[in-house]
């Protein structure tokens, strides 16, 4: 069973994604900010982290850097899911090591399909 960590501070987004991924037989973990995400990632070593950028405490960029610097998480894929949709934002996210950068608003169905594709 594939493990996914959803990191977002928007409860509605988290609920819809959690439901969609559980329906597709993913083991789902939830974090509301970057520091919580890092704690869970180190504990559960997810296959993929779905990461928002604009969050309280530790933002998505910093969280990605920490994940990429952790030897135990080097095989973890990271996908940004953000309302920051300027070319410079996308470029920065990919340059920092994100495997994919998706923008909000999004189709849950398409997102789940893209994540499945990325993990297979």
Per the structure block, which two tokens stand in for 114? 């893209």
User: Side by side, which strands form the sheet with 3-7?
Assistant: 27-31, 3-7, 48-51, 77-82, 100-103
22 Cβ partners below 8 Å, 6+ apart? 28
Q: Is domain 3-119 annotated with CATH 3.40.50.2300?
A: yes
At 86-119, the pLDDT tens digits run 999 999 999 999 999 999 999 999 999 999 999 9
What confidence category does residue 18 fall into, taking pLDDT thresholds of 50, 70 and 90? Answer: very high
The model's pLDDT over 59-91, given as tens digits with 9 standing for 90+, comes to 999 999 999 999 999 899 999 999 999 999 999
Axis-axis angle for helices 108-119, 11-23 (nearest 10)? 60
In this prediction, residue 56 has a pLDDT band, given cuts at 50, 70 and 90, of confident
């Amino acid at each position: 069973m594939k493990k996914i960590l959803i990191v977002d501070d928007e409860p509605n987004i988290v609920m819809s994604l959690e439901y969609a991924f559980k329906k597709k037989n993913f083991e789902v973990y939830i974090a509301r900010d970057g520091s919580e995400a890092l704690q869970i990632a180190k504990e559960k070593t997810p296959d993929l982290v779905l990461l928002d950028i604009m969050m309280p405490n530790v933002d998505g960029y910093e969280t990605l850097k920490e994940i990429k610097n952790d030897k135990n998480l080097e095989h973890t894929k990271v996908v940004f899911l953000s309302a920051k949709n300027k070319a410079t934002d996308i470029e920065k996210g990919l340059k920092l090591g994100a495997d994919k950068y998706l923008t909000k608003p999004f189709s849950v169905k398409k997102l789940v399909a893209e994540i499945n594709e990325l993990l297979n």
